[in-house]
Amino acid sequence: MCQFYKKQYGSDFISVIPCNLYGLNDNYHLESAHMVPAMIHKLHKAKVNNKSYVEIWGTGKPKREFMLSDDCSDAMLFLMENYKDLDIINIGLGYDMPITEIARVIRDVVDVDVEFNYNINFPDGIYRKLLNTSKLESTGWKVKHSFKDGIKIAYADFLVKFERGDYEY
């Protein structure tokens, strides 16, 4: 639709497709959170309760691409000012990681010594979800936060909400 508005009316609209996002003010509720905020909560809960393991659904082998939501909004602002093409543009890091590696990074940030138990009664889902970010890269935009640095920001956000009582053990 944005493409046709641009063609017909000269409107300066663009369409973007972001990768999976996490970040400030995320939903960390274990029943309804997405993978990264749920893993932050699970690992913190294991730390507080001196647990020796955390469950991961599936085998941990599928790969996913996650970006800090602040980086996504930064990319969108950059594109609004600098991207004039009709094509839809993907916003992402340009690399993915196995779910096990994502969980390890979060475990390191939370600073908890736990093992991962894989519950293979849950399906892995699609093996790989990675966006082609070559168009985004060609604009000159660069991501500001590594995955680990983004997790540090998200974990600090979780801790504020946890200490406030928004989330329980």
In a domain, 80, yes or no: yes
Q: Tell me which residues of the chain have a pLDDT lower than 70.
A: 169
The region, left, alpha or beta by phi > 0 then psi within -120 to 50, assigned to residue 57 is beta
User: Global pTM?
Assistant: 0.91
In a domain, 4, yes or no: no
Domain that holds residue 57: 16-164
In a domain, 102, yes or no: yes
Domain of 135: which CATH number? 3.90.25.10
**Type of residue numbered 31:** E
Q: Enumerate helices (H) and strands (E) in the chain, giving the number of each.
A: 6, 9
pLDDT digit string, tens, across residues 95-127? 999 999 999 999 999 999 999 999 999 999 999
Q: How many domains does the chain have?
A: 1
CA distance 110 to 155: 7
In a domain, 3, yes or no: no
In a domain, 158, yes or no: yes
User: What one-character-per-residue DSSP string does 72-108 give?
Assistant: HHHHHHHHHHH---SS-EEES-S--EEHHHHHHHHHH
In a domain, 141, yes or no: yes
In a domain, 68, yes or no: yes
β-pairing, 97-98 with 63-64?
antiparallel
CA distance 80 to 84: 8
In a domain, 11, yes or no: no
What's residue 17's pLDDT? 96
What's residue 9's pLDDT? 82
In 104-155, DSSP assigns E strands to 115-119, 128-129
Q: Record the tokens describing residue 66, joined without a space.
A: 């996650």
